[in-house]
Amino acid sequence: MQVVMKHSTVLVFALVALIATNGTMAQERVSLHLEEGKSGAVWDLVLGPDGKTLYSCGRDSTAKSWDLTTGESIRMFKCDKHTLVTSLALDYTGNWLALGDMKGVLSVWNARSGVRYYTAPAHEQYITDVAISADGRMIATAGRDDHIRLWNTDDGRPLHSITAKMLWVQAVAFSPDGATLAAVGQDGRIVLWNTADGTQKMELGRHSRFGRALLFSGDGKYLFSSGADSRVKVWDLQTQALFRELELEGGYAHGMDLNRREDLLLVGRMNGLMEVWDWRRRIVKQKLSGASYGTMQAIFDDNDERILSAHTSGAVKLWRHEDGALLLDMVGFSDGQWLSFTPDGYYDCSAFGDRYVQWQRGQELFPLNRYRELYQRPAIIEDVLRGSYSPAGEIETILDPPTADLIAPRDGQLFAFGSEALEIVIEVEARDRQRIERIMLLRNGRALSQEQILSSQVLARSDTLLRMRFRVAVLPGRNAIEAVAVNAARVRSAAQRADITVETGEQLNPSLYILTVGADKYAPAFPDLQFATVDAQAIADEFVRQEGGIYTRVYTRTLTDRQATREKIFAALKEFEGMGTQDMLLLFFSGHGVRQRDGKGRSRYYYLPAGTTKNNISKSGMAWDDFAGEIARLRAGRVILLLDACHSGDVSGGASNEKVASSLAGQVGIVFTSSSGNEFSYEDRSWGHGAFTRALLDGLRGKADFTGNKIVDWSELQLYVSTAVREMTKGSQNPMVPRLEQFANFDLVRIQ
């Protein structure tokens, strides 16, 4: 898979396909079209001490952490201002993450939670490099203002400021004992400094052009330096003399790393190539040439089995060391979305991570998300990372998605009728001669089952065309109707949507059915929570007050701790089977969630009832896809799921709120999650609830009534809660709704 830059905002990932066209073979590429600022060059990489977490930073104003067991982006560390994050460093505990940016600001973060500890105006200009001493006590920053500065890690207190006299300082590195700091500059000089007092020890040597990178050997005997003179120099620190010199052919070394035995040197070069050297014998042992754009950094994994590299294309690449095979590309975006994909086209992504990617054939572009059923395989990404799956070359063909036309209703139509059904007419064409297998209908963001469709009729059918008429019930007020065609190869058409308004001559107030679930008691298998049960009860109590207002009746069922079992959750849903198509179902879940493979190797997401152990998750946990199947049988006109089930990264194992929400969206209806990506959901005694529930309650009680009409509608609540939670947690938790644009607005509660 190749990465190519088109102009300033388009990346092309060459999941290259060969297609026979009029007897010739034409190349196809998967192109990643980005809005300005969505992503950018990856500038630096560092591996966490657990060997399972990777940190990257770059041009999109962020740093990101990646789970190397799942390929997921775990956390995003976003700077206050738009800037290039030029360098990052991690302490030996894996807790302290230091970032340097183009504005000259040093920021230090909790690497696990994403909470920022402090910032410091470190340099007048661009920070070129950041390093943390082996004992974690000191941070060094280098800048284009020709200064080196040392900082106390714990509180950001400045320790020493050194004027380097190098024009500007390009790179710094601590010796393993922390007593010496090496620096290389724009003038090519390599200088050693005492960290205790900031005095110069000696000038070790120089490159004939500007220096680029520095690396100490683990025993502290050697210092490796690279420069724009296409040389890597190895300095013997005992004799203070040049020990070896490696000459690179075309392009200088922008990043370097040693394997565990320290007999091999990995060099990442600005021409996109990577080389593995036997540096003592000055022999190139291996070349990795699959990257077409600059390699900013390259590192070995903990076992020396894989190589990880950062590229100006915006990708982090994973290679097999043994044969140099490319295994995986990981791309992160500035809005927190991400995408990981193999050379043979399989991928996993965040809720919207595949919206930026398109297959390209000639001038034709096909969004990757239309191929989701075919190629989104989280289990394959996990197998690649565990070494049990090797990508089988490149994709040989792609299929044209079907096209669809929603003939009726039309967008913006107004209907005036009582209980009559809405007629939907859709025409679908199969462009690749793959027979149309089904047409999916969604009403207010929720897929309609066959039982919920009042009638269907085939109006015309051929090998390539299908025209059908459906009749479905709709709600008074605003409704969003969508239709999607799926062919035999499981490739989808673009969704066709119409927003309509239904006016009735009589008041048809719906009933509200509520199921709230919360679990606090998980010890000793998992950490206990504080407010999940309180939150579940509070949400139910708040909506009960709406009976006789917007809702004719309000029916509630609350299950907490030991009562919140899979069986009782499903039994509670069966109690709601009497609801009608005009009614609304509101669901609230708070607790822990996990991801686990089942016996068939599929990744499944589970909600954990209280008392669940790590050995009985598949038996005691509630699989969310099973839950969605139960919801599909209910006739509710609208369904809202409020999801607050990602309280601990040590528990979730990839089952973030967002991943669960994206897997349910379209099946359940509106899914409003307490956090985005792999963010944690926070609780605090000062709030009396989790942050998400606190904001929900405040919004429902009137703070979300932005129009002052004594009604809180869905759009107002979503906006208020998202903003309030972000402010309460200082940006560490960001509620989100997958596919928010698919839902028509509606009145939710009347303020009493």
pLDDT digits (tens, 9 = 90+) for 376-392: 998 899 999 999 999 98
Q: Average pLDDT for residues 40-65, to the nearest whole number?
A: 93
The reported pLDDT for the residue numbered 271 is: 85
Q: Average pLDDT for residues 206-234, to the nearest whole number?
A: 97
Q: According to CATH, where is 2.60.40.10 located in the chain? A: 403-503
Kind and range of the H or E element at 466?
strand 465-472
* 222 within 8 A of 215, measured Cβ to Cβ: no
Res. 552: pLDDT tops 70: yes
The answer to whether domain 403-503 has CATH 3.40.190.10 is no
Res. 730: pLDDT tops 70: yes
Backbone angles phi, psi at 444, to 5 degrees: 55, 45
CATH top class, domain 512-750: alpha beta
* 626 within 8 A of 554, measured Cβ to Cβ: no
Q: Average pLDDT for residues 517-525, to the nearest whole number?
A: 91
CA 150 to chain centre: 33
Q: According to CATH, where is 2.130.10.10 located in the chain? A: 40-332
User: If one looks up domain 40-332 in CATH, what number appears?
Assistant: 2.130.10.10
Q: According to CATH, where is 3.40.50.1460 located in the chain? A: 512-750
Q: Average pLDDT for residues 735-752, to the nearest whole number?
A: 82
* 588 within 8 A of 639, measured Cβ to Cβ: no
Backbone angles phi, psi at 432, to 5 degrees: -110, 15
Helices and strands in the chain: count of H runs, count of E runs: 10, 56
The reported pLDDT for the residue numbered 614 is: 83
Residues 124, 169: Cα–Cα separation, whole Å: 13
Reported as a pLDDT band with limits 50, 70 and 90, residue 10 is very low
Instruction: List the beta strands (DSSP E) in 111-168.
Output: 116-121, 127-132, 138-143, 147-152, 158-163
Query: What tokens appear for 235 in the block?
Result: 């300095």
Question: Can you say whether residue 445 is alpha, beta or left, with left for phi > 0 and alpha for psi between -120 and 50 degrees?
Answer: left
The reported pLDDT for the residue numbered 290 is: 59
Q: 426 to each of 423, 468, 506, 583, how far by Cα in Å? A: 10, 6, 30, 27
The reported pLDDT for the residue numbered 214 is: 98
Contacts of 683 (CB under 8 A, 6+ apart): 529, 530, 531, 647, 689, 690, 691
* Angle separating helix axes 624-632 and 657-664, nearest 10 degrees: 30
Res. 8: pLDDT tops 90: no
* 87 within 8 A of 99, measured Cβ to Cβ: yes
Among 184, 272, 266, 193, which Cα is nearest to 229's? 184
The reported pLDDT for the residue numbered 102 is: 94
pLDDT digits (tens, 9 = 90+) for 692-702: 999 999 999 99
Weakest mean pLDDT among 102-106, 545-549, 603-607: 603-607
Instruction: List the beta strands (DSSP E) in 239-349.
Output: 241-247, 253-258, 264-269, 274-278, 283-288, 295-300, 306-311, 315-320, 326-332, 338-341, 347-349
Residues 62, 80: Cα–Cα separation, whole Å: 10
Q: Determine what percent of the chain is predicted with pLDDT higher than 70.
A: 91
Res. 207: pLDDT tops 70: yes
pLDDT digits (tens, 9 = 90+) for 556-581: 999 999 899 999 999 999 999 889 88
Q: Determine what percent of the chain is predicted with pLDDT higher than 90.
A: 61
pLDDT digits (tens, 9 = 90+) for 148-172: 999 999 999 999 999 999 999 999 9
Q: What is the DSSP string of 100-111?
A: EETTSEEEEEET
Reported as a pLDDT band with limits 50, 70 and 90, residue 508 is low
Global pTM reads 0.86
Q: 490 to each of 354, 439, 493, how far by Cα in Å? A: 16, 11, 10
Which amino acid, 428? Answer: V
Weakest mean pLDDT among 132-146, 300-314, 677-691: 677-691
* Beta bridge partner(s), residue 143: 127
Res. 716: pLDDT tops 80: yes
